[in-house]
Amino acid sequence: MIKKNFLILLLCLIPAISSAITREASVEYALEKSEAIRISTESANVLRGESRQATAFTKPQVSLSGAYTEMGDNKPESPVPYLNSPDRNIAGEVTATQLLYAGGRIWRTLELGHKLNQQADIRETSGKRDIRKQVRMAFDAVLYQDAAIAILRDRLSQRQAELEDANDLRDAGMVTPLDVRQAKLNVNFAENELKSGEAAYQEAMIDFNLAIGRSGDDELLAPEGDLRNVPNLNAVLTSLDTALSEQDFLDVESAKTAAEAALLNYKIAHGQGLPEVLFVSTGKSDGEETDEMDESWTAGIQVRWDVFDGGLVRAKKASARAEMRQATDNLSRTQKGMAGEVEKIRVNIRSLEERIMLQQEAVELSQKNYEDARGHYRAGTITLTRLGEFSLSYAEARFNLLRLFFLQREQLISAEALLEK
C-alpha cells in the first residue's frame, strides 16, 4: 500500500517536472519555430511571384545581343581591298520596347497584380490563424487529459478506501471475503484506468509539442492553466455579431479578393483580341574591327494585331467567364457559411452555459450521494455493488462536466479563429 501511494505521488509530480508554458506563449513559440509557418510564408510567396510574372509585360523590355563571326571563301583576292569579303564580323544590338496600349490590359493587369499580392497577404495571415487554432486546440487537449488524470486519481483513492472499508467489515464479520475480492478488483480497474489516462496525457503532450514546432524527443513543454478559466463569452459573441454585420472575416475577404481577381482576368481576356501599340527603339553596331564599327539606331511606334489566332482568345474568354462565375458563387457561399458558423457558435455557447450549470449541480449531488452511500456501506445497510453504482455516477458526472468545459473551449477557439485578421 505504501509503495502504491508513493507511485501515485510520483505520477502527480510528473507534469511539474516539465517546463510550463502559457497559452499565448505557446502560440508565439509556434509562430517562430513551427515549420508550418514557413510553409505558409512560402505559399504566399508563390502568389507574390505570380503577381510579378503577370505584370512583367507592362514594364520596359530591354534585350541585348552580340555576335562574333569568322568568315572565309575560295574566291581569288581582288586588288581592290574594298571588294574583298571580310574575314570576320563583330555585331552588337540593343532593343528596347515599351507597351503603350493593349486594349485595357495594362492597367487591369497592374490592378490584378495588386489583388494577387492581397491574396498572398491573406494566405499568410490565414496560415498563422490556422497555426494559432491548432496550437490552442492541442493546448486544451493537454489540460483536458491532465484534469481527467486528477479525476482518475481521486477515483483510485476512493476505491482504495472502499477496499479498506471491506477489510474492516470482513474483520467485523459484517461481510464475506467476496466483498474484499470485489473491492480489490475495483482497485485494479481504477489503476488500469489511471494508467490509460496517463498514456493519453503523454500522447496529448507530444501532440502539443509537435504542434508548436518541437521535436517529439525534446524536453516536453507542459501547458499551464485550467479549462474552467474561460474568458467572457458574451464579449466574444458581441465581436462576432459586429464582424458578421460588416462581413469582416478573413475567409470572406479572401473569397472577395479572389472574385475581384477573377473579374479582372475576364476583362483582361476580352482585351487580348485588340491591337497592341508599342514604342520600339534599337541600336546596332557591327564591323570587322572593334575600332571601325558601323553604328545605327531606330526609334518609332509599332502596331501589332493578331487578326486570327485559331480561336485562342475566344477560348480564354470562355474560361475566364466560368472562373469569374465560380469565384462569385464561392463568395456568396462563404458569406452564407460565415453567418451559419456564427449562429452555430452562439447556439452552442448558450447551450453549454446552461448544461454546465446543470452538470455542476449534478457533480455536487452525486458527490454527496457517494459520501452518504459509503457511510451506509460501512454501516452494513447497502452492498458493495450498490456503493459502486454511486461511485460510478460521481465519476461520470465529473467527466461529463470536464467534457463540457472542453467543448466550451472549442467554441471559444472557433470564435477566435473567425475573428482572426
At residue 420, does pLDDT exceed 60? yes
Q: Which residues face 292 on adjacent strands? A: 289
**5 falls within a domain:** no
Among 152-161, 172-181, 266-275, whose mean pLDDT is lowest?
266-275
Position 258 confidence tier, pLDDT thresholds 50, 70, 90: very high
**pLDDT cut 90: percent of the chain above it:** 60
**369 falls within a domain:** yes
At residue 122, does pLDDT exceed 80? yes
Position 4 confidence tier, pLDDT thresholds 50, 70, 90: very low
**406 falls within a domain:** yes
**pLDDT cut 70: percent of the chain above it:** 91
**236 falls within a domain:** yes
Q: Give the range of the structural domain holding residue 347, as residue numbers without chain letter.
A: 18-68+88-419
**CB-CB contact of 204 with 212 (8 Å):** no
Q: What is the mean pLDDT of the chain?
A: 88
**78 falls within a domain:** no
Position 12 confidence tier, pLDDT thresholds 50, 70, 90: very low
pLDDT number for residue 242? 94
pLDDT number for residue 8? 40
pLDDT number for residue 79? 61
At residue 14, does pLDDT exceed 50? no
How many Cα atoms are found within 13 Å in the side-chain-facing hemisphere of 20? 9
Among 142-146, 199-203, 273-277, 380-384, whose mean pLDDT is lowest?
273-277
Hey, how many other C-beta atoms are within 10 angstroms of the C-beta on 27?
A: 20
Q: What is the mean pLDDT of residues 122-142?
A: 94
Q: What is the mean pLDDT of residues 103-118?
A: 89
In b/e form, how buried is each residue of 162-171, taking b as 16+ CB within 10 angstroms?
bbebbbebbe
pLDDT number for residue 149? 97
**403 falls within a domain:** yes
**76 falls within a domain:** no
Position 15 confidence tier, pLDDT thresholds 50, 70, 90: very low
Beta strands in 290-406 (DSSP E): 292-304
**10 falls within a domain:** no
pLDDT number for residue 358? 97
Hey, how many other C-beta atoms are within 10 angstroms of the C-beta on 349?
A: 21
Position 219 confidence tier, pLDDT thresholds 50, 70, 90: confident
Three-class secondary structure of residue 347 per DSSP: helix
pLDDT number for residue 271? 82
pLDDT number for residue 126? 92
Report the CATH number that the domain containing residue 381 is assigned in CATH: 1.20.1600.10
Count of domains in the chain?
1
pLDDT number for residue 387? 94
DSSP 117-184: HHHHHHHHHHHHHHHHHHHHHHHHHHHHHHHHHHHHHHHHHHHHHHHHHHHHHHHTTSS-HHHHHHHH
pLDDT number for residue 103? 80
